[in-house]
Amino acid sequence: MTVFAQDWTTPFGLPPFDLIRDEDFAPAFDAALAEARANIAAIADSAEPATFASVIEAMELAEGALDRVAGVFYNLSGADSNDAREALMRDLAPKISAFASEVSNNKALFGKIEALWQGRDTLDLTAEQQRVLMLYRQVFVRSGALLEGEAAARLTAVKSRLAVLGTQFSQNLLADERDWFMPLSEADLEGLPDFVVASARAAGDERGAGGAVITLNRSLIVPFLQFSPRRALRQRAYEAWVARGANGNAHDNRAIAAEILALRDERAKLLGYASFADFKLEPEMAKTPAAVRDLLMRVWTPAKAKAEADAAVLEAMLHADGIPGPLEAWDWRYYSEKRRRAEHDLDEAALKPYLSLNAMLAAQFDCAGRLFGLEFREIDGPFYHPDVRGWEVTRHGAHVAVFLGDYFARAPKRSGAWCSAMRSQRKLGAEVRPIVVNVCNFAKGDPALLSYDDARTLFHEFGHALHQMLSDVTYGFISGTSVARDFVELPSQLYEHWLEVPAVLEQHARHWQTGEPMPADMLRRLLDAGTYDQGFATVEFVASAMVDLRFHEGDAPADPMQKQAEVLEQLGMPRAIRMRHATPHFAHIFSGDGYSSGYYSYMWSEVMDADAFAAFEEAGDPFDPATAARLERFILSAGGSQEAESLYTQFRGRMPGVEALLKGRGLLDAA
């Protein structure tokens, strides 16, 4: 009997990480899948008349054991991978896909759902139940429930292959990120701030390199590109960073990307859609590729103009250093950082001592307390890795959630930052409170000191966590972040705004050694520079979003790299800026379907987050209780219980225009 077959007596029902072994997962998945299949068969084969309770509510609970095992395994596989877990992921991908296809292809089961849908007006359903029924039917139809014969069989095969390829893409990317590092001599460390040197030495210790190294982790390579005066080293590091997944080795992702795009195109056409983008965007707020393109191009034009003006300034600085050639991508961050110091008198090395991880955690928790009455009490593990910390979240003494934070980069962890739930909120059957995980990749230090961008990432992921923790719905199917993809980033991007509230930094941005607050003039300069280099940031993002859209809105390109080049040429991509995510390492869109045709979602949500924070500004208080209560009621606690546009309109009274986004990025003057 594996630990997953036993009742967990741990506090808050946390997984007993100290008892779980890698060899437990395969038999646990086998048992959970068998149980789920039996439960689904019992629902589909029942001779009793279909009711909402006997079909939809039973399906909500049918995969409980599978959710339990998967909630632990997939969190560990992303945050603390190893050979055994990677092998099991490859084995599981087609099995999980096959099970999902079995469910969606079960004609008896779909017949019961369809009967409920057709008779919904006679069922006396609550608004939430009507929404859940509609979404279940939509998922089945979009999964091929209406297909027959060869078309149904082919769709099943396509989805299985896509699951395998997505796993392979992710593991290839992780392998490239894990295997590459650049040793630095003592001379190579000259000119680097102490925090970069310390991070490079720590990375070298982890890799057993016998000295400082630069890895492909964003929290290490970006500050190296900002501060290293050695142009040749910057070029070598940068070119390795952008070549992830495209090194011509066993981990090359280019052929995988091409096959994924072809299969997605086939999937969409089997379901009757003109393109994968048309299929994917149908249930989102944007609805159509044309709406996405319109938003991106309205932002691209002023962003490109701003970036080109900035490039001219940086190139002049390059020439002043006696380098005659054009500004290159590995030069941008170095000269931009020098320019920021000159124009805003801001030095990241001077800022970081005031932005320790502990201080910023206190800030994010304090804001959540002032806005929503939440309290955070640190708890002991054991957790799945020594770096992980945990907190019990309460309100007025009542348990709300368990929050886990896994903040430091390490070789077995995939890059980036994300929020996930080991257990999601629901009320059906019993009150279930969530276990929520924030994962980041900050450079480890003693203490850990963050850049301002790192602190923004911390707040961003915690905004997602609040969406999970404050969820208050009956059905797990619509809880937390189970919302339209272009709505899911609203809570996360909105929460970033509280990091910019002067009173928050005045209270929490304190020197890690002395406890002194950040000097008032430094704080003012930091906030005044809030839109600095937004031309660059916007261009690299929009370029990635446009490539993603163009990949999916027509016939699949035979050569994605050629298509990428064509799109960037048509956009007039500035020479010294690259896509934020080039195709071979664009995990957002190739590791799974999540953000495929949907990378634009961050910007779509940004239109709303700028407007949503304006509601607090209009109330005259960034912690206005009435506005916070509306935010929780209509956004954070509602999950997917209503259409996203309806929820936002109830919170704000209207939908916003793109002007708030342009203003927030400092691009109105360039528009």
Active site residues: 461
The answer to whether 541 and 549 have CB atoms below 8 angstroms apart is: no
Tokens encoding 414: 């995939």
The per-residue DSSP string of 107-162 comes to: HHHHHHHHHHHHTGGGS---HHHHHHHHHHHHHHHHTTTT--HHHHHHHHHHHHHH
> Phi-psi category of 245—alpha, beta or left, where left has phi over 0 and alpha has psi -120 to 50?
left
Helix (H) or strand (E) holding 408: strand 398-408
Decide if 33 contacts 25 (C-beta within 8 A): no
In the numeric block, the tokens 């070298």 are attached to 204
The answer to whether 497 and 152 have CB atoms below 8 angstroms apart is: no
Angle (CA) 377 378 379, round 5°: 115
The label of the residue with tokens 């490239």 reads 176
CA distance 267 to 138: 16
Contacts of residue 526, defined as CB under 8 A and 6 or more positions apart, other chains included, come to 346, 351, 452, 505, 518
As a whole number of angstroms, the distance between CA 4 and CA 114 comes to 35
Instruction: Yes or no: say if 225 and 237 are a contact pair by the CB < 8 Å rule.
Output: yes
Pairing label, strands 398-408, 389-395: antiparallel
What whole-number distance in Å separates Cα of residue 529 and Cα of residue 186?
Answer: 33
Q: Tell me how far apart the alpha carbons of residues 295 and 468 are, in angstroms, rounded to a whole number.
A: 28
Residue 187, classified by CB atoms within 10 Å of its CB into exposed (0-12), middle (13-18) or buried (19+), is exposed
Is residue 387 a contact partner of residue 434, using CB atoms and an 8 Å limit? Answer: no
Among residues 425, 426, 419, 424, the alpha carbon closest in space to that of 440 is found at 419
Other Cβ atoms less than 10 A from the Cβ of 510: the count is 20
Q: What angle do CA 262, 266, 269 make, to 5 degrees?
A: 140
3-state class of 432 per DSSP?
strand
Planar angle of CA 488, 490, 492, nearest 5 degrees:
90
235: helix, strand or coil: helix
Q: Tell me which H or E stretch contains 194.
A: helix 194-207
- Beta strands 435-442 and 181-183, pairing class: unpaired
**Number of neighbours of residue 520 by Cβ within 10 angstroms:** 10
